[in-house]
Amino acid sequence: MAEEDGVRRRDFINIAAVSAAGVAGVGVVIPLVSQMSASADVLAASSTEVDISSIKPGQAIKAVFRKQPVFVRNLTPKEIAEANAVDAATLRDPQTLGERTKEGKENWLITMGVCTHLGCVPLGAGEGEAKGEFGGYFCPCHGSSYDTAARIRKGPAPKNLEVPEYEFASDTVVKIG
């Protein structure tokens, strides 16, 4: 009996030692994996302030947010009306213009300039660029067309252009991120 207990205790110690080695292995893997995620300097640069005072109705600018383009567009009343005329329920990604802009600032459409299909930059923000058949943005890579609220209307993209988190720091400055 005593002999058997002795054997069991020894087995237990061996198993415990191997388990401790396993725990050490996991402990080593954690920093090795986490070192690849975004570093502090990258994360710190993840908010941008944009001066919108010089954007006239009908114009748009490309700002940079997290190393990607963001479109800041001052919609004309006509474009707002076009966007509101569509029944949101019929859309692929149903959203109204109101849901995609800030209250009282409906003319400021701020979206990522990254096509939701495979990440190309759609045309339409620059002066004279093709805006596609719905008057918003047009992605030349695979032909996705967005309307004046940057909602997907035609082509392979599954979602509307993403609206990043932002707020109006003042009437002329938008803080994105």
Partner 1 sequence: MARILSILVGLFFTAALAWSFGKGAYTQITEPPAVTVEHEFHLLPKHVRFASDGAFGKFDRQQLQRGFQVYKEVCSACHSLSHVAFRDLAQLGYSEAEVKAIAAGFQVAGTDPNTGEANMRPGTPTDYFPKPFANDIAARAANNNAVPPDLSLMTKARHDGAAYVYSLLTGFQAQPAALLKEFPDAKTPNGLHYNPYFANLNLAMAPPLTSEGQVTYGDGTKATVDQMSKDVSAFLIWTAEPSLEKRKQTGWAVLGFLLFATILGYMSYRNIWAGKKH
Partner 2 sequence: MSFPWANEYQPSHPFMKWMDEKLPLPRLVYNSVGSGYPVPRNLNYFWNFGFLALICLVIQIVTGIVMAMHYAANTAVAFDTVEMTVRDVNWGWLMRYAHANGASAFFVVIYIHIFRGFYYGSYKAPREMVWLLGVVIFLLMMATAFMGYVLPWGQMSFWGAKVITGLFSAIPFVGEPLQQWLLGGFAPDNAALNRFFSLHYLLPFVIVGVVILHIWALHIPGSSNPTGVEVKSESDTVPFYPYYIAKDGWAVGAFGFLFCMMLFFFPNALGHPDNYIPANPMSTPAHIVPEWYFWPFYAVLRAFTQDFFFIPAKLMGVLAMFGAILVWFFLPWLDKSPVRSGSYRPTYKKFFWFGLIPAMLVLFYCGGAPAAEPYVMMSQLAALYYFAHFLIILPVVSAIEKPLPLPYSITEAVLGKDEAAQLAPTAR
Catalytic residues, by residue number, are 142
Please tell me whether residue 26 binds partner 2 under the rule CB under 8 A. no
- What are the residues whose beta carbons fall under 8 Å from the beta carbon of 161, sequence distance 6 or more? 71, 111, 112, 113, 114, 115, 116, 122, 137, 146, 150, 151, 152
Q: Does the protein bind partner 1 through residue 173 (CB under 8 A)? A: no
* Binding characters for partner 2, 68-107, by CB under 8 A (x = yes): ----------------------------------------
Helices (H), 45-131: 77-85, 97-100
Q: Is residue 23 within the footprint of partner 1 (CB under 8 A)? A: yes
Assigned token pair, 133: 């058949």
User: Of 161, 159, 158, 142, whose CA–CA distance to 150 is shortest?
Assistant: 161
Here the tokens at position 41 are 């300097």
Nearer to partner 1, 44 or 89 (CB): 44
Residue 33 host element (H or E): helix 2-34
Other Cβ atoms less than 10 A from the Cβ of 110: the count is 26
Question: Binding string, 33-52, against partner 1, x = CB under 8 A?
Answer: -------xx--xx-----x-
CB under 5 to 8 A by kind: which of partner 1, partner 2, none does 2 bind? none
Return residues touching partner 1 (CB under 8 A): 10, 13-14, 16-18, 20-21, 23-24, 27, 40-41, 44-45, 51
Return residues touching partner 2 (CB under 8 A): 17, 21, 24, 31-32, 34-37, 39-42
